[in-house]
Amino acid sequence: MSGAVDTATSLSPGAWLGVLGGGQLGRMFCQAAQALGYRVAVLDPDATCPAGMVADEHIRAAYDDAAGLDRLAQRCAAVTTEFENVPADSLRRLAQSRITTPSGDAVAVAQDRLAEKAYIQAAGVPVAPHAAIQSAADVDACPDALFPGILKTARLGYDGKGQVRVASRGEANEAFQALHGVPCVLEALQPLDYEISVVVARDLQGRAVSYPPSRNAHRDGILALSVADGSVPSDVAGQARSHALSLARHLDYHGVLCVEFFVLRDGRVLANEMAPRPHNSGHYTQDGCLVSQFEQQARIMAGLPLGDTESLRPAAMLNLLGDLWFDAQDRQCEPDWAGVLAVPGTRLHLYAKSQARRARKMGHVNILGADAAQLRERIARVSAVLGLPDA
């Protein structure tokens, strides 16, 4: 933070908050901030971006456009980002005159898997055995214990992109060439039991809270379902929340941070990666908690107290991908939203994207139940309406 920024005084409703990025996370941030009485400006080059449709002002500019960034800074007292691949230098520029959460330095760490793993380990949080791969010689020099493993690009990988499973050194060399020889991380496969994530909110004074962990299921590398029903054992949940808070402190992080974890069959908890923003796995907080991850994001920017993170009821988030908008003959059709909403305890969140595409995130359904059993039954009913496989 720049010394010119006063973080001791909260911003009154009516003040402007800014967000870099106009996707669905920015849209839901806008809605949460506006519910608190704030006005929101979005910077995004896309004229039809989801956040721009609901923002009080849409600045159409590239994320590294100096004039656009300066306009955002002139309008807004505090600025955030809705995705991790925003240029870190853009956040650094904004931080010269405005409260900026998270910092450009923190986002830069999350943009590089090698730097990210180093920071996670330095925070005292365990990760899977891994090695940096920057040349074919690095593959040849890897310990045998890293096979079988996953080769991941160090930058710009998300939703399963830029990741290849490799059973041997030969396959790793082939995968490295297929990924065009960009810097990578080779990570040893672990005896995985399940995956969880923890969302943390840390304010400008270093106070922090965490949400109950969600248990996550993926399909084709994309998060399909997150369930926060209290089924994660208390010792595992405690480890994960402690690790996530430690990492936020080590980064001197301000804002909303999601940390994804592997839970191994022997009960160990290893950090996988982090996202310096609200996260799909935290969408359940919109309806399952008193204060959502998006409201926390706005509260931190405005200097307001952190909100209550306890669950109101067992909750789940079911991701809605663009595949649902196509029938078996590949004809475009609208999903049965009336059938979804006929299931008790459901709330539909659509992102108003202009075109459905396969694997594109189009919305999500939050599902609540009185207990874990009822929640599972309702998840199954919603999945059946949408033609999704059982979770």
Q: Is 174 annotated as a binding residue?
A: no
Q: Is 283 annotated as a binding residue?
A: no
Residues 6+ apart with CB under 8 A from 170: none
Q: Is 181 annotated as a binding residue?
A: no
- Contact status, residue 230 vs residue 314, Cβ threshold 8 Å: yes
Q: Is 58 annotated as a binding residue?
A: no
Q: Is 82 annotated as a binding residue?
A: no
Residues 6+ apart with CB under 8 A from 311: 212, 228, 230, 288, 289
* Residue 257, SS3 per DSSP: strand
* Torsional class of 124: left (φ above 0), alpha (ψ -120 to 50), beta (otherwise): left
Q: Is 187 annotated as a binding residue?
A: no
* Residue 350, SS3 per DSSP: strand
**Nearest by Cα to 55 from 26, 14, 15:** 26
- Contact status, residue 257 vs residue 222, Cβ threshold 8 Å: no
Q: Is 195 annotated as a binding residue?
A: yes
Q: Is 57 annotated as a binding residue?
A: no
Q: Is 235 annotated as a binding residue?
A: no
Q: Is 119 annotated as a binding residue?
A: no
Q: Is 85 annotated as a binding residue?
A: no
The alpha carbon of 250 is separated from its chain's Cα centroid by a whole number of angstroms, namely 19
Distance CA 294, CA 290 (A): 12
Q: Is 161 annotated as a binding residue?
A: yes
Q: Is 96 annotated as a binding residue?
A: no
Q: Return binding residues.
A: 113, 152, 157-163, 195, 218, 272-273
Q: Return binding residues for ATP.
A: 113, 152, 157-163, 195, 218, 272-273
